[in-house]
Amino acid sequence: MNQNTAHSHSEDGASHTSPVILVKELTKTYIMGETEVHALRSVSFSVNAGEYIAIIGASGSGKSTLMNMLGLLDRPTSGSYRIGGVEAAELSKDRMADLRNTQIGFVFQRFNLLARTTALKQVGLPLFYAGVSGRESAKRAAAALARVGLGDRLDHRPEELSGGQQQRVAVARALVNNPGIVLADEPTGALDSHTGSELLALFDELHAQGITLVVVTHDMGVAARAQRIITLRDGEVLEDRANFAGQNEALPAGPLSASIANGAQNGAAAHGSNHAQLAVGAAMPATAATGGNHEDL
Amino acid sequence: MKIFKYLGVAVESIRAHKMRAILTMLGIIIGIAAVLITVGIGSGTAASITDRIESSGTNLLTVSSGNRGSSSSAALTMADAGVILDATRFPTVQLAAPQYTSNATLTNGASAGSYQVMGTTPAYATMHGLDLNAGAFLTAAQVEDNENVVVLGATVATDLFGGQEPLGQSIRVGDALFTVTGVLASTGSSGFGSSDSMVYVPLDVALGRLFNVTRVRGSYTISGIGIQVKTQEDLDPTALQVEQVLRLRHGLGADDENDFSISNQADLLEMASDVSGSLSALLGGIGAVSLVVGGIGIMNIMLVSVTERTREIGLRKALGAHDRDILLQFLVEALVLCTLGGLIGIALSYSVAWGLGLIPGLSSTVVIEPWAVMLALAVSTGSGFVFGLYPALRATQLDPIEALRYE
Contact state of B321 with A106 under an 8 Å Cβ cutoff? no
**Domains in chain B: how many in total?**
2
**Do residues B74 and B119 share a domain?**
yes
Q: For residue B43, give its domain range.
A: 2-53+270-405
Highest mean pLDDT among A217-221, B33-37, B71-75: A217-221
pTM of the full structure: 0.67
**Do residues B145 and B279 share a domain?**
no
Examine residue B61 and state whether it is found in any structural domain, yes or no. Answer: no
Give the mean pLDDT of A85-95: 89
Q: What is the pLDDT of residue A149?
A: 92
Q: For residue range A200-229, list pLDDT tens digits in order.
A: 999 999 999 999 999 999 999 999 999 999
**Do residues B282 and B233 share a domain?**
no
A115 near B CB under 8 A: yes
CA-nearest residue of chain A to B11? A117
Is pLDDT larger for residue B278 or for residue A199?
A: A199
CA distance B294 to B24: 9
Contact state of A129 with B319 under an 8 Å Cβ cutoff? yes
B309 near A CB under 8 A: no
Examine residue B105 and state whether it is found in any structural domain, yes or no. Answer: yes
**Do residues B231 and B101 share a domain?**
yes
Q: What percent of chain A has pLDDT over 90?
A: 61
- Of the candidates A44, A47, A25, A58, the residue with the CA atom closest to the CA atom of residue A232: A58
Highest mean pLDDT among A247-251, A255-259, B255-259: B255-259
Q: What is the pLDDT of residue A198?
A: 93
- Residues of A within 8 A of B16 (CB-CB) are 114-117
Give the mean pLDDT of B82-105: 89
Of B318, B323, B324, the CB nearest to A71: B318
Give the mean pLDDT of A44-70: 92
Q: What is the pLDDT of residue A272?
A: 40
Contact state of A101 with B319 under an 8 Å Cβ cutoff? yes
Q: Which of the listed residues B223, B238, B258 is the one where a domain comes to its end?
A: B258
Examine residue B59 and state whether it is found in any structural domain, yes or no. Answer: no
Mark which residues 382-401 of B lie under 8 Å from A by CB: 400-401
Contact state of B17 with A121 under an 8 Å Cβ cutoff? no
**Do residues B138 and B117 share a domain?**
yes
- Mapping DSSP to helix (H, G, I), strand (E, B) and coil, where does residue B289 land? helix
**Do residues B211 and B342 share a domain?**
no
CA-nearest residue of chain B to A114? B312
Contact state of A129 with B318 under an 8 Å Cβ cutoff? no
A109 near B CB under 8 A: no
Examine residue B265 and state whether it is found in any structural domain, yes or no. Answer: no
Contact state of A121 with B12 under an 8 Å Cβ cutoff? yes
Q: What is the pLDDT of residue A225?
A: 92
Contact state of B319 with A115 under an 8 Å Cβ cutoff? no
Examine residue B391 and state whether it is found in any structural domain, yes or no. Answer: yes
Of B317, B320, B401, the CB nearest to A68: B401
Examine residue B369 and state whether it is found in any structural domain, yes or no. Answer: yes
**Do residues B94 and B199 share a domain?**
yes
Burial class (CB in 10 A: 0-12, 13-18, 19+), B126: middle
Examine residue B20 and state whether it is found in any structural domain, yes or no. Answer: yes
Compute CA distances B261 → B76, B145, B247, whole Å. Answer: 10, 31, 11
B320 near A CB under 8 A: yes
CB-hemisphere CA count at 13 Å for A147? 24
- Residues of B within 8 A of A103 (CB-CB) are none
CATH domain A3-289 topology: Rossmann fold (3.40.50)
Q: What is the pLDDT of residue B192?
A: 53
Contact state of B16 with A115 under an 8 Å Cβ cutoff? yes
The DSSP annotation for chain A comes to --HHHHHHT--S-SSSPPEEEEEEEEEEEEEETTEEEEEEEEEEEEEETT-EEEEE--TTSSHHHHHHHHTTSS--SEEEEEETTEEGGG--HHHHHHHHHHHEEEE-TT--PPTT--HHHHHHHHHHHHT--HHHHHHHHHHHHHHTT-TT-TT--GGGS-HHHHHHHHHHHHHTT--SEEEEESTTTTS-HHHHHHHHHHHHHHHHTT-EEEEEES-HHHHTTSSEEEEEETTEEEEEEE-HHHHHHHPPSSHHHHHHHHHHHHHHHHT-HHHHHHHHGGG-HHHHHTTT--S--
**Do residues B20 and B102 share a domain?**
no
Q: For residue range A120-158, list pLDDT tens digits in order.
A: 999 999 999 999 988 999 999 999 999 999 999 999 999
**Do residues B49 and B76 share a domain?**
no
Examine residue B347 and state whether it is found in any structural domain, yes or no. Answer: yes
**Do residues B77 and B116 share a domain?**
yes
Q: For residue range B171-186, list pLDDT tens digits in order.
A: 999 889 999 999 998 8
- Of the candidates B23, B32, B13, the residue with the CA atom closest to the CA atom of residue B382: B32
Domain ranges of chain A: 3-289
pLDDT band at B362 (very low <50, low <70, confident <90, very high): low
Backbone angles phi, psi at A230, to 5 degrees: -105, 125
Q: What is the pLDDT of residue B200?
A: 95
Of A73, A117, A128, the CB nearest to B16: A117
Q: Which of the listed residues B258, B280, B298 is the one where a domain comes to its end?
A: B258
- Window from A198-212, A241-255, B154-168, B209-223 with minimum mean pLDDT: A241-255
- Residues of B within 8 A of A116 (CB-CB) are 15-17
Compute CA distances A136 → A127, B278, B293, whole Å. Answer: 9, 59, 44
Contact state of A74 with B401 under an 8 Å Cβ cutoff? yes
**Do residues B205 and B232 share a domain?**
yes
Contact state of A125 with B312 under an 8 Å Cβ cutoff? no
